[in-house]
Amino acid sequence: MLVLADANLRLDASAIDYIELAFYFVLVLGIGYLARRQVSSSLDFFLSGRSLPAWVTGLAFISANLGAVEVMGMSANGAQYGLPTVHYFWIGAIPAMLFLGIVMMPFYYGSKVRSVPEFMRRRFGKPAHLVNGVSFAAAQILIAGANLFLLASVVNLLLGWPLWVSIIVAAAIVLSYTALGGLSAAIYNEVLQFFVIVIALVPLTIIGLVKVGGWQGLVEKVTNSPGGSAQLHSWPGDNLTGFGNSLLSVLGIVFGLGFVLSFGYWTTNFVEVQRAMASKSMSAARRTPIIGAFPKMLVPFIVIIPGMIAAVTVSEYVKDKQVLLDGGTAESGVTFNNALLLLMRDLLPNGMLGIAIAGLLASFMAGMAANLSSFNTVFTYDIWQTYVKKDKPDHYYLNLGRIVTSAGTILAIGTAFIASNSGNILNYLQDLFSFFNAPLFATFILGMFWKRMTPHAGWSGLVFGTLSAITVWGLSQAGVLGLTGQGISFVAAGTAFVVDIVVSVAVSLATKPKPDEELVGLVYSLTPKETRQHDATGENAGWYRKPGLLAGIVLVLTIALNVIF
Amino acid sequence: MATESQPRARKAGAFDIRLIIALLIGVYGVILTVMGIGFTSEEEIKKAAGVNINLWAGIGMLVVAALFVIWAVVRPLVVPTSAEAETGDTPTAAGE
């Protein structure tokens, strides 16, 4: 999360920069308008009619995650921890994305469910469904509000607009294209956003590297700066986990971050899975996260490296990096979260500056649009259609989707204003919601591969898993467990995973499972092989369209990157 | 361009995102190239570590935009009335 300070971050934007910004927004709204014409049923609105090609959904898949927290937060981590931050990408995302594409997508796409909570309902029945659906919807509103607040505060810092003006303008833009064009508009904009971020950050990284004298120069400068050479090697990453023991640190990264946290996030978070569900065939759905993994592998180079460059070149950090590393407050008022902005301020001329600002705003808005477009789907299909008004004509749900999108936006604006008064509350709540993901993965994976798992096990595993994570988190906040840094969330997630498995198995053995015929298509052993596989002919033919092979390539490249850095 | 009255054809026919990406990056490329040639001061170049980043990024963007246009021209979206084409329609029906 960003903590905003009174540092001098005002960028010197000129008319040409504003023209570039305005042009971007015209295209964003234009996409909403064009996508509107494709919407004629609720499935069009909520799942793009399951019609998109894999490269589009693949880019949207990572773009939906490339929001404010990712771009600003990961460059901040780069400034603070250095290269160990890459674990969030190479360990904390890639394996889970491959797993989603290879193992889990056949069940999601093959069972024709329209959302992740709907899968829950068919596999475990209503109690688990409610727990999952309601917590997901609430979390999305909260995160949308957080994105909105961050966007507004960055606009405020950079351009000097009042906070409330930027909150309302940004919300109105996001609302207009998501309410018009539904998921298609959100996804197409995510693809556009991805390219804007890339063309904004690649030049920044390049001139940053020129400035420090290339990679070698960066290595020398970081070695001589506070934090030292530990910031130049991804392993063991002691400084990131705060465990103070290399073996524990590696274990924490691999199991806590790499296994529990990231698998929970990438494989069960509907914001992500929805993008794959929108693709046009089983083959494309399986390729979605795998295609997304290619750019995901490279994102750290344009996010973390600028952060590291900022930490050794920006005058405020050169002066106060040690103070900031010790948890103090810099005299100039900067925090690590300002790293990217400060680097932009120091390096970019007018012209390039406008594109960089467009890239940042794009990332914040697309993050919020992703939250809204998954919120409206879960609310409409999983809460309203399942529990309130069941048998209305499809048109009713399409209209409801638009109304819910608007209501969600208003709630997010409210959340953003609460956040602007007390930023820390939002921080804590985000931590808490992230704990819903960890036990979810345990429940899903057990439910997909163990047909004996019962409906009661479904909800009780989730509830107790989440409670155990909250307990661990609470104890460390109170200082009882003596954990610091990112280690807290790794341990909390790990605990939640184990508790969920134990509770689920115990409850399953004591209660009655669902009959086999209700689980066809949802559980591995009861799903005929043909329905798990995809058609490999026609437009799905060719070696470069085989999910397994693509996943293999990604895996080899990721391992190579880990060895190099 | 398809219309909503043709339910099967509308999905692939509406618009091609590749051209929108090309439009955005292309316009940015033109602006930056012009800025780089004529309107980037010595002081700004010095600030950016001696690199005329506007010019170079502008040229780079023009190239990227051209690649997107080429891609869109070489493999155009096919409105799936004749089916079986690059952006075919059979899997679409499965979702409904």
Domains detected in chain A = 15-564 (1.20.1730.10)
- A109 vs A421, higher pLDDT: A109
Contact A37 B14 (CB under 8 A): yes
Q: Which of A262, A223, A267 is nearest to A83 (CA)?
A: A223
What pTM value is reported for the model? 0.84
Q: What is the mean pLDDT of residues A389-404?
A: 85
Whether A2 shows a pLDDT value over 60: the answer reads no
Q: What is the mean pLDDT of residues B8-19?
A: 60
Q: What is the mean pLDDT of residues A529-555?
A: 71
Which amino acid is located at A551 in the chain? A
Chain B residues within an 8 Å CB radius of A20:
28, 31
Task: Give the range among A231-235, A303-307, A545-549 with minimum mean pLDDT.
Answer: A231-235
Could you tell me which chain A residue has the CA closest to the CA of B15? A34
Own/partner pairs for A525-529, CB < 8 Å, 24+ apart? Answer: A525/A449, A525/A451, A526/A451, A527/A106, A527/A107, A527/A110
How many residues does this entry show for chain A?
Answer: 565
pLDDT of B17: 86
Task: Give the range among A138-147, A312-321, A468-477, B54-63 with minimum mean pLDDT.
Answer: A312-321
Alpha helices in chain B (DSSP H): 10-13, 17-34, 42-47, 53-74, 90-94
pLDDT of A491: 80
Whether A487 shows a pLDDT value over 80: the answer reads no
Does residue A536 sit at the B interface (CB-CB below 8 Å)?
Answer: no
- A38: nearest CB among B10, B20, B84: B10
Instruction: Report the gap between the CA of B35 and the closest CA in chain A (Å).
Output: 7
Instruction: Report the gap between the CA of B51 and the closest CA in chain A (Å).
Output: 7
Which residue ranges make up each domain of chain B?
15-87
Contact A43 B4 (CB under 8 A): no
Tell me, rounded to whole angstroms, the distance of Cα A414 from its chain centroid.
22
Whether A504 shows a pLDDT value over 70: the answer reads yes
Does residue B79 sit at the A interface (CB-CB below 8 Å)?
Answer: no
Chain A residues within an 8 Å CB radius of B14:
34-35, 37-38
Instruction: Report the gap between the CA of A510 and the closest CA in chain B (Å).
Output: 38
**Which residues between 208 and 267 in chain A have a beta carbon less than 8 angstroms from any beta carbon of chain B?**
208, 210-211
- A165 vs A432, higher pLDDT: A165
CA of B11: how far to CAs of A55, A71, A172, A454, B14, in Å? Answer: 16, 33, 27, 40, 6
pLDDT in tens, A256-293: 777 777 888 888 888 888 888 888 888 888 888 888 88
What is the C-alpha separation between A555 and B16, in angstroms, rounded?
31
pLDDT of B7: 43
Q: What is the mean pLDDT of residues A115-130?
A: 86
Task: Give the range among A111-115, A176-180, A327-331, A481-485 with minimum mean pLDDT.
Answer: A481-485
Instruction: Report the gap between the CA of B72 and the closest CA in chain A (Å).
Output: 13
Q: What ipTM is given for this predicted complex?
A: 0.81
Contact A347 B49 (CB under 8 A): yes
pLDDT in tens, A52-78: 888 888 888 888 888 767 788 888 888
pLDDT of A275: 87
Chain A residues within an 8 Å CB radius of B58:
351
Average pLDDT along chain A: 82
Chain B residues within an 8 Å CB radius of A112:
94-95
Q: Helix (H, G, I), strand (E, B), or coil: what is residue A279?
A: strand
pLDDT of A486: 63
Q: What is the mean pLDDT of residues A480-507?
A: 80
Contact A348 B50 (CB under 8 A): no
Instruction: Report the gap between the CA of B73 and the closest CA in chain A (Å).
Output: 17
pLDDT of B4: 40
Considering chain A, what percentage of its residues have pLDDT values greater than 70? 87
Whether A138 shows a pLDDT value over 70: the answer reads yes
Considering chain A, what percentage of its residues have pLDDT values greater than 90? 4
- B12 vs A318, higher pLDDT: A318
